[in-house]
């Protein structure tokens, strides 16, 4: 079993729809959870960052972490064509371990 599983999609939605993305993981030691957004032919950029379980909201974006189920989600409300990108989940343990474990990425296309 891979450490982080993410369905690569692609996912096409009409403008204004809610986009729902998720990742599952196997390492119960993960404590820090991130979502990166990567536009075509660009480097990833950090979108959301959460610690442990719970929800975090930033504008149209909501990140959820359920450590008991080893499951994280990203929701994009009122999706825009500018949200079309690949979204990668990433996670790591604490205690000085710098290694990030990435999901494969999920391509999202928002159709005007």
Question: Does residue number 58 form part of the binding site for other proteins (CB under 8 A)?
Answer: no
Binding residues for other proteins restricted to 69-98, rule: CB under 8 A: 88, 90, 94, 96, 98
Cα–Cα distance between 48 and 75 in angstroms, integer?
11
Within 8 A by CB and 6+ apart from 19, the residues are 11, 13, 74, 75, 76, 79, 83, 108, 110
Nearer to other proteins, 79 or 86 (CB): 86
Minimum CB distance to other proteins, residue 15 (Å)? 27
The token duo for 79 is: 């999706």
Nearest to 6 by CA among 74, 89, 112, 68: 89
Residue 42 in 3-state DSSP? coil
Query: Which of 49, 61, 71, 75 is the binder for other proteins (CB under 8 A)?
Result: 49
Tokens found for residue 99: 């290694």
16 vs 54 by CB, closer to other proteins: 54
Using rule CB under 8 A, residue 105 touches other proteins? yes
Selected from 8, 16, 54, 81, the binder of other proteins by CB under 8 A is 8
Q: How far apart are CA 86 and CA 42, in angstroms?
A: 10
Contact residues for other proteins, defined by CB under 8 A: 4, 6, 8, 32, 41-46, 49, 51, 88, 90, 94, 96, 98-100, 102-105
């Amino acid at each position: 079993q891979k450490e982080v599983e993410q369905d690569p999609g692609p996912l096409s939605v009409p403008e204004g729809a809610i986009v729902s993305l998720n990742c599952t993981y196997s390492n119960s030691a993960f404590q820090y959870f991130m979502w990166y957004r990567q536009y075509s032919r660009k480097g990833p950029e950090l979108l959301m960052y959460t610690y442990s379980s719970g929800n975090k909201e930033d504008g149209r974006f909501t990140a959820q972490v359920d450590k008991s189920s080893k499951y994280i989600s990203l929701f994009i409300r009122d999706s825009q064509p500018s949200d079309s990108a690949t979204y990668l989940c990433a996670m790591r343990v604490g205690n000085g371990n710098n290694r990030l474990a990435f999901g494969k990425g999920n391509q999202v296309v928002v159709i005007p």
